[in-house]
Amino acid sequence: MLYYIPILLALIPQTLALWPIPRTLQTGSTFLVLSSQFNINVNVPNPPQDLLDAVSQTKDFLATDKLQRLVIGRGAADAGALKTAKTLPSLTVTMQSNQPVLPIAAESVKDIGTRSEGYTLSIPNDGRPAVLSANSTLGLFRGLTTFSQFWYDLNGVTYTNVSPVSIVKDVPAYPYRGLMLDTSRNFFPVADIKRTLDAMSWVKINTFHWHIVDSQSFPLFLPEFPELAGKGAYSSSQIYSPADVQSIVSYAAAHGIDVVMEIDSPGHTAIIAESHPEHVACNQASPWSTFANEPPAGQLRLATPGTVNFSAALFTAAARVLPSKLFSTGGDELNTQCYKSDAQTQADLKKSGQTLEQALNSFTQATHGALAKLGKTPVVWEEMVLDHSPKLSNNTVVMVWISSANAAAVAAKNFRFVHAPSDFFYLDCGAGEWIGKSAESNSWCDPFKSWQKAYTFNPLANISAAQKHLVLGGQQLLWTEQSDPNNLDPIVWPRAATSAEIFWTGATRPDGKALDGSEALPRLHEMRYRMVQRGVKAIALQPQWCALRPGLCNVDS
Amino acid sequence: MLYYIPILLALIPQTLALWPIPRTLQTGSTFLVLSSQFNINVNVPNPPQDLLDAVSQTKDFLATDKLQRLVIGRGAADAGALKTAKTLPSLTVTMQSNQPVLPIAAESVKDIGTRSEGYTLSIPNDGRPAVLSANSTLGLFRGLTTFSQFWYDLNGVTYTNVSPVSIVKDVPAYPYRGLMLDTSRNFFPVADIKRTLDAMSWVKINTFHWHIVDSQSFPLFLPEFPELAGKGAYSSSQIYSPADVQSIVSYAAAHGIDVVMEIDSPGHTAIIAESHPEHVACNQASPWSTFANEPPAGQLRLATPGTVNFSAALFTAAARVLPSKLFSTGGDELNTQCYKSDAQTQADLKKSGQTLEQALNSFTQATHGALAKLGKTPVVWEEMVLDHSPKLSNNTVVMVWISSANAAAVAAKNFRFVHAPSDFFYLDCGAGEWIGKSAESNSWCDPFKSWQKAYTFNPLANISAAQKHLVLGGQQLLWTEQSDPNNLDPIVWPRAATSAEIFWTGATRPDGKALDGSEALPRLHEMRYRMVQRGVKAIALQPQWCALRPGLCNVDS
Answer yes or no: do B453 and A432 touch at CB < 8 A: yes
If you measure CA to CA, which chain B residue comes closest to A490? B487
How confident is the model over A166-217, as pLDDT tens digits? 999 999 999 999 999 999 999 999 999 999 999 999 999 999 999 999 999 9
Taking the model in full, what pTM does it have?
0.96
A187 contact residues in B (CB cutoff 8 A): 544
CB contact under 8 A, B486 and A486: no
Higher-pLDDT residue of A552 and B97 is A552
Task: Inspect the interface and report whether the beta carbons of A438 and B555 lie closer than 8 Å.
Answer: yes
Give the model confidence (pLDDT) of A498-521 as tens digits: 999 999 999 999 999 999 999 999
- Indicate if A460 and A325 belong to the same structural domain: yes
CA distance B455 to B331: 28
B551 contact residues in A (CB cutoff 8 A):
436
The answer on A159 and A183 residing in a single domain is no
Shortest CB distance from A447 goes to which of B446, B518, B555?
Answer: B446
Note the pLDDT of residue A12.
40
Residues A118 and A222 in one domain: no
| Per-residue pLDDT tens over the stretch A287-323 | 999 999 999 999 999 999 999 999 999 999 999 999 9
CA closest to A486 among chain B residues: B537
List the domain range (segments joined by +) for residue A47. 26-170
- Give chain A positions within 8 Å (CB) of B438: 452, 517, 555
A271 CB neighbours in chain B (<8 A) are 545
A449 pLDDT above the threshold of 80:
yes
Contact A521 B216 (CB under 8 A): no
Q: Of B143, B170, B197, which residue is a domain's last? A: B170
- B450: which chain A residues are within 8 Å (Cβ-Cβ)? 431-433, 440-441
Closest CA to B257 of B134, B395, B381, B106: B106
| Closest B-chain CA to A516 | B437
Cis peptide, bond prior to residue A494, ω within 30 of zero: yes
Query: Looking at the structure, do residues A224 and A279 belong to the same domain, yes or no?
Result: yes
- Cβ <8 Å between A486 and B484: no
Q: Which residues in B14-144 belong to E strands, given as ranges?
A: 26-43, 86-95, 119-123, 130-134
- Asked whether the predicted pLDDT for residue A431 surpasses 90, the reply is yes
CA dihedral A164, A170, A176, A182 (to 10 degrees): 10
Closest residue of A to B440, CA-based? A453
Q: Which of B217, B287, B537 sits opposite A557 (nearest CB)?
A: B287
Q: How far is Cα A211 from Cα A264, in angstroms, rounded to an integer?
A: 8
Same domain, B287 and B156: no
Is A128 a domain residue? yes
Nearest to A194 by CA among A208, A176, A174, A178: A208
| Confidence band, pLDDT 50/70/90 cuts, at residue A443 | confident
CB contacts < 8 A (A, B):
258
CB contact under 8 A, B452 and A440: yes
- Beta-carbon separation of A432 and B439 below 8 A: no
The answer to whether residue A523 is domain-embedded is: no
**Which residues of chain A lie closer than 8 angstroms to B555, CB-CB?**
289, 435-438
Closest approach of B429 to chain A, Cα-based (Å): 10
Lowest mean pLDDT among A27-41, A389-403, A429-443: A429-443
Task: For residue A492, give the chain B residue with the closest CA.
Answer: B487
CB contact set of A119 (below 8 Å; sequence gap of 6+): A132, A133, A134, A139, A140, A142, A143, A146, A167, A169, A170
Q: Are residues A353 and A495 in the same domain?
A: yes
- On whether both A427 and A483 belong to a single domain, the answer is yes
Q: Could you list the mean pLDDT of each consecutive 10-residue stretch along chain B, which spans 557 residues?
A: 39 71 96 97 97 98 97 94 97 92 98 97 97 98 98 97 97 98 98 98 98 98 98 97 98 98 98 98 97 97 98 98 98 98 98 98 98 98 98 98 98 98 97 84 89 97 97 98 98 98 96 93 97 98 97 90
Q: Is A223 exposed, middle or buried (0-12, 13-18, 19+ CB in 10 A)?
A: exposed
Cα gap A179→A536, rounded to integer Å: 16
Subunit contact B553:A448, Cβ cutoff 8 A: no
Q: Which of B74, B215, B433 sits opposite A452 (nearest CB)?
A: B433
Pairwise CB contact (< 8 Å): A449 & B432: yes
Chain B CB contacts of A487 under 8 Å are 487, 490, 537, 539-540
Contacts of B185 in chain A (CB under 8 A): 543-545
Query: In terms of Cα–Cα distance, which of B148, B6, B12, B160 is closest to B86?
Result: B160
Name chain A contacts of B434, Cβ cutoff 8 Å. Answer: 541-543, 546, 553
- Beta bridge partners, B474, equal B177, B419
pLDDT value of residue B437 = 79
CB spacing of B540 vs A491 below 8 angstroms:
no
Contacts of A16 (CB under 8 A, 6+ apart): A27, A162, A522, A523, A526
Question: What is Dmax (Cα atoms) for chain A?
Answer: 85
From the list A295, A483, A532, the residue facing B486 with the nearest CB is A532
Q: Which residue blocks in B277-355 are alpha helix, DSSP H?
A: 288-291, 305-319, 336-340, 343-352
> Nearest CA to CA, how far is A446 from chain B (Å)?
8
How close A80 gets to chain B, by Cα (Å)?
A: 20
Residue B11's pLDDT is 40
Catalytic residue among A333, A481, A501, A526: A333
Active site residue A333: yes
- Measured from the Cβ of residue A56, the count of other Cβ atoms closer than 10 Å reads 11
Task: Give the 3-state secondary structure of residue A328.
Answer: strand
Lowest mean pLDDT among A91-95, A306-310, A508-512, A532-536: A508-512
* Residues of B tagged active-site: 333
Domain end point (choices A140, A170, A200): A170
CA distance B424 to chain A (A): 9
Taking an 8 Å cut-off on Cβ atoms, the answer to whether B437 and A557 are in contact is yes
CATH number at residue A254: 3.20.20.80
pLDDT band for A98, please (50, 70, 90 cuts). Answer: confident
Is residue B494, in this structure, part of any structural domain at all?
yes
End-to-end Cα distance, chain B = 47
Average pLDDT over residues A222-241: 98
Residue B337, sorted as left (phi over 0), alpha (psi -120 to 50) or beta, turns out to be: alpha
A9-15 average pLDDT score: 46
Taking the C-alpha atoms of residue A14 and residue B202, their distance in angstroms, rounded to an integer, is 47
Residues A223 and A367 in one domain: yes
- Overall number of domains in chain A: 2
H-type alpha helices, B180-281: 190-202, 226-232, 242-254
In a domain, A546, yes or no: no
Distance from the A18 Cα atom to the nearest Cα atom in chain B, whole angstroms:
19
CA distance A235 to chain B (A): 8
Would residue B523 count as lying in a domain? no
pLDDT bin (cut points 50, 70, 90) of residue A58 is very high
Please indicate whether, in this complex, the C-beta atoms of A482 and B539 are within 8 angstroms of each other.
Answer: yes
Look at residue A557 in the predicted model and tell me its pLDDT: 84
Decide: B115 and B106 in contact? Cβ < 8 Å.
no
Q: Which residue has the higher pLDDT, A12 or B245?
A: B245
- B514 interaction partners in chain A (CB closer than 8 Å): none
CA distance A534 to chain B (A): 12
Nearest residue of chain A to residue B236 (CA atoms): A73
Same structural domain, B247 and B339: yes
Give the CATH number for residue A78: 3.30.379.10
Whether residue A555 and residue B438 make contact (CB cut-off 8 A), yes or no, is yes
**Interface contact B557-A295, CB threshold 8 A:** yes
Which residues of chain B neighbour A545 with C-beta distances below 8 Å?
185, 215-217, 234, 271, 295-296
* C-alpha to C-alpha distances, A435 to A269, B69, B70, nearest whole angstrom: 19, 21, 17
Q: Which residues in chain A have Cβ-Cβ distances shorter than 8 Å to B431?
A: 430, 448, 450
B181 and B149 co-located in one domain: no
CA A213 to chain B, closest CA, distance in angstroms equals 12
Q: Final residue of a domain: which of A145, A170, A195?
A: A170
Question: Quick check: is A1 in a domain?
Answer: no
Interface test with A, best of B525, B545, B549, B556 (most A CBs within 10 A): B545
Q: What pLDDT, on a 0 to 100 scale, did the predictor assign at position A439?
A: 66
Q: Based on the domain organization, do A207 and A133 belong to the same domain?
A: no
**Residue B63 DSSP SS3:** helix
In chain A, what percentage of residues exceed pLDDT 90?
94
Are A182 and A263 a contacting pair, CB within 8 Å?
A: no
Q: Are the Cβ atoms of B217 and A186 closer than 8 angstroms? A: no
> How far, in Å, are A45, A147, A234, B7, B245 from residue B72 at the CA level?
56, 50, 9, 31, 45
Q: Please tell me whether residues A165 and A184 are part of one structural domain.
A: no
- Indicate whether A1 pLDDT > 80: no
User: What CA–CA distance (Å, rounded) separates A464 from A456?
Assistant: 19
Residue from the list A186, A447, A545 with its beta carbon closest to the beta carbon of B216: A545
Put simply, the answer to whether A487 touches B284 (Cβ < 8 Å) is no
Please check whether residue A153 lies inside any domain of the structure.
Answer: yes
How far apart are the two ends of chain A, measured CA to CA in Å? 47
Integer-rounded Cα Rg, in Å, for chain A is: 25
Cis peptide before A223 (omega within 30 of 0): no
Contact A234 B482 (CB under 8 A): no
Beta bridge partners of B153: B158
Q: Residue A70 pLDDT more than 50? A: yes
What's the CA gap between A517 and A551, in Å, rounded?
Answer: 11
pLDDT of A8 over the 70 cut: no
Cα–Cα distance for residue pair A122/A165, rounded to 1 Å = 5
Residue A515 lies in a domain: no
Smallest Cα distance from A155 to chain B, Å = 14
> Is B185 in Cβ contact with A545 (below 8 Å)?
yes
- Gap between the Cα atoms of A32 and A30, Å rounded: 6
pLDDT for A442 equals: 83
